[in-house]
Structure 1
Amino acid sequence: MNARSKWTALAGLAVFAALLAAGPAEAGADAVALLSRADAIRNPQTSFIVDVDLVAYEKGRKTDSTTVTTHSRKDSNNGQFLSLVYIEQPNRDEGKIILRNGNLLWFFDPASKASVRLSPRQRLVGNASNGDVVTANFALDYQVELIGEEEVMDGDRRMTPAYRLHLTSESDITPYNAIDLWVDKTTSRPVKGEFFTQSGRLLKAAWYRGWRPVLGETRPTEVVIADGFDPQNVTLMRMSNFRTQDLPQSWFSNSWLPSFRKP
């Protein structure tokens, strides 16, 4: 082999090595981009208010329901949402508030004027937890890895080509230790999620559906949540009446909750 041939071979090996080295980083960047895009579809990336109805069913029979209004504002420090969830129904819980501020979740009861720390993993109604009704960008709370591509059944029982992402929690504020999220290959819409405990046990599965034009994007307005132990226990979370509003930063302080009044 002459000198030029040796140089060409060595250059080729160097390029190949560089591509191998870049592979995981590029795959990671692609996974983050996919998750960020799915976040932007799930939630308007601005200050907004949305009404949320949650209805729990067991074997097709309604067993419980809750109505809340979620107020969300992006935190200028990190891009994550600050959320204030005002409980409208049932009547016995009217006026109670769930607040997410940074890595803390608070529950405020107007009867006692007291606030207590709250677990995001505690159930609110049916299969829906406290952490499910606060607004959050997954990309800021989880490490994400692109697992591969596969077909998955969507919320309308159609098989959909999707990317499968694996999310690992980076914060105590998250309601789940890990999530497998399927994202439509064509639209980047979230299709299905599976949510796990630290031990890897499946807590619940969720399907995103009810796609409607909402605040400049086609978004899911329904999430069907099935229990990981008994798939006949299902909770329907329905979002409606999205509206933008410039929400004051002061609203999202634990000390200010006694002063909150519905806009």
Structure 2
Amino acid sequence: MKRRTWLAAAALIAAGAAAAAPDAQRILAASDAVRNPGRPFAVNVALTEFQDGKRADSSTMVTYSRTLSQDAQFATLVRFTAPARDTGKLMLKNGQDLWFYDPSTKASVRLSPQQRLLGQASNGDVVTVNLARDYKATLKGEEDVQDGDRKTRRAWQLELAAAVPDATYARIEFWVATDNDQPIKGRFFAESGRLLKTVYYRRYARELGTERPTELVIIDGLNPASVTLMRLTGYTEKNLPESWFQRDYLPRFQPE
């Protein structure tokens, strides 16, 4: 009888612990909502590459993003604004397709999301992505982690495994603040298991109703002296027509 009582109590404790455990996919979706507005928007993106602390290259663009399908994944149109050699060029992410369009040649070519755009920033880094749609999250634990401003924060540690063929990375280790769902840090891996980059999300500011990261620090997985800063400014809610996000519309696109 005592053994039955003990087993019943153990089962109740285990059930209570399972019920109390946070849901990893919910945490990831909540962090997505911090990174991305839930309505069509435009934002200015500035990339600056540093090698050994010295500025090496830079690029600026405007990204236009909105959801088009029921799975709530974003489509993104990127319009390059600098340097002069790239002004007017476009990049389009819609579903599994990523296209680059050059108005001087009127040709559009398919790109890989993993291909580097500038420094440590890849094509897939500058388009808007809901990670919860592309990755299966597993909760690894809760721990203190240093953020991009070198402050210690309590965070959920998530393990993300690619769940769709066009996911930019094969695996991600991701830390999300336990108190407000803000993404703190990510480690991004190739299929081989090699660490490609570490990203810190920092300089939170109120944009379109929520505190969002306005700067990403992207550090090379092999060479920590190779760093790229991605700055996000001027979030604006936009009425973006679906036609903008079709490949055959790229030659007709006119900036605002």
Aligning the two structures, in what range does the TM-score lie when normalised by the shorter sequence?
Answer: over 0.9
Residues of 2 paired with 1:88 and 1:172: CA distance?
31
Decide which of 12, 15, 19 is 1:19's aligned counterpart.
Answer: 15
**1:29-86 deviation per Cα after TM superposition (whole angstroms, max 9, x unaligned):** 7101100110000111110000000000001111110101000011232101010011
Residues of 1 paired with 2:99 and 2:45: CA distance?
19
Contact 1:103 1:171 in 2 (8 A): no
Residues of 2 paired with 1:16 and 1:210: CA distance?
44
Matched, 1:257 2:253: no
**Corresponding residue of 1:84:** 77
Residues of 2 paired with 1:261 and 1:172: CA distance?
32
Number of residues of Structure 1 aligned to a counterpart in Structure 2? 256
Where structure 2 has 5 or more consecutive residues not aligned to the other structure, the ranges are none
Decide which of 35, 43, 48 is 1:42's aligned counterpart.
Answer: 35
Match runs of 1:25-36 below 5 Å = 30-36=23-29
**Corresponding residue of 2:222:** 229
Residues of 1 paired with 2:10 and 2:168: CA distance?
45
Residues of 2 paired with 1:209 and 1:11: CA distance?
47
**Corresponding residue of 1:74:** 67
Match runs of 1:198-213 below 5 Å = 198-213=191-206
Using the TM superposition, give the Cα deviation of residue 95 of structure 1 relative to its aligned residue in structure 2, in angstroms: 1.1
Residues of 2 paired with 1:152 and 1:253: CA distance?
41
Residues of 1 paired with 2:53 and 2:14: CA distance?
56
Using the TM superposition, give the Cα deviation of residue 215 of structure 1 relative to its aligned residue in structure 2, in angstroms: 0.4
Change (3 A) 1:26 1:99: farther
Q: Which runs of 4+ in 1 moved over 4 A?
A: 8-11, 13-18
SS at match of 1:257: helix
Which residue identity is paired with 1:261? Answer: Q
Which residue identity is paired with 2:15? Answer: L
Decide which of 155, 161, 173 is 1:168's aligned counterpart.
Answer: 161
Using the TM superposition, give the Cα deviation of residue 90 of structure 1 relative to its aligned residue in structure 2, in angstroms: 0.9
Residues of 1 paired with 2:179 and 2:138: CA distance?
19
Using the TM superposition, give the Cα deviation of residue 18 of structure 1 relative to its aligned residue in structure 2, in angstroms: 8.2
Change (3 A) 1:18 1:164: closer
Using the TM superposition, give the Cα deviation of residue 11 of structure 1 relative to its aligned residue in structure 2, in angstroms: 9.1
Change (3 A) 1:26 1:114: farther
Q: Which has the larger radius of gyration?
A: 1
User: Aligned-pair RMSD on alpha carbons?
Assistant: 2.1
Residues of 1 paired with 2:165 and 2:236: CA distance?
30
Contact 1:213 1:219 in 2 (8 A): yes
Using the TM superposition, give the Cα deviation of residue 161 of structure 1 relative to its aligned residue in structure 2, in angstroms: 1.1
How high is the sequence identity, in percent, across the aligned residues? 47
Residues of 1 paired with 2:93 and 2:74: CA distance?
8
Match runs of 1:160-199 below 5 Å = 160-199=153-192
Which residue identity is paired with 1:93? Answer: D
Decide which of 47, 51, 56 is 2:49's aligned counterpart.
Answer: 56
Contact 1:105 1:173 in 2 (8 A): no
**Corresponding residue of 2:99:** 106
SS at match of 2:45: strand
